[in-house]
Amino acid sequence: MKKLVLATVLALAAVSVFAQNSLVDEPNPETIGNDSAMQSLREISLDKFEREGAWSVHMSPDYGVISARQFEGNPAMKEPLKEDVDAGVQDTHVLGVKVEFFRRGINSFYINSQRPVPIEGITKTISMWVCGRNQDHELYVLIEDYFGRNYELFMGTLGFSGWKKLTAVVPPSPDSEHGIVQHSVYYGDKPGLRIIGFRVDCNPMQARGTYYMYMDDLRCVTDLYDMENHDEDDMSDAW
């Protein structure tokens, strides 16, 4: 009897751990800030890193030298969006970043878009495919909210080999005044965020030698309900 009880407890614990890992790895956009059944969620590709010179990199010259360039390739596990396939959108390159450290220390490096990447609607999650080279540096996405305020969202550590999809959850504002505000009834009808770039905080013990990382297919899941259900005869408040 004791063995049966112990086996049952271990099985339930395994299911619980699996469920927690699933929630951490793949957050459900339908439950993020959802206070209404009226949602129209869509996954949108924001940048496939196909344009040469669209992203710049920099770090403190006291800690090392950084460079970036495009490479041909794609994550094998990535599933293309149907609308991109139908439109014949090109997706054959990734962005590679190379960091040559002078010495170990507490430092960061940045990958910035030459122009902020706008997102329409109410963003639920931001995701990107990353090749991390199995070092425990931390990746953050840098965003600008409706009022132009800057925030950073944790996407995950780079302590894995090969490609992995990293996802950041955009927490909803409790009152459209505090936190990350994506829309406001007081300042027009054009909701949305802008992605400024990314920051990698280096693990001080592993920030040595040469480090490589690769990025592909920046996406988001956004709620376009208000935009898709806007009455045709309703006036726009964006003047």
- Residues above pLDDT 70, as percent of the chain: 79
Quote the pTM value.
0.83
Helix (H) or strand (E) holding 7: helix 2-25
> 162: pLDDT confidence band, cut at 50, 70 and 90?
very high
Residue-level pLDDT at 40: 82
**Could you tell me the two tokens for 223?**
């709620």
Is the pLDDT score of 3 beyond 70? no
For residue 214, what is the DSSP state?
Answer: E
Which run of H or of E encompasses 12?
helix 2-25
The tokens describing 187, both together, are 């300042």
Instruction: Read off the pLDDT of each residue in 199-209 and give the average, rounded to a whole number.
Output: 95
Percentage of residues in the chain having pLDDT higher than 90? 61
Average pLDDT over residues 44-68: 95
Residue 172's nearest CA partner among 124, 222, 100, 213 is 124
Beta bridge partners of 166: 128
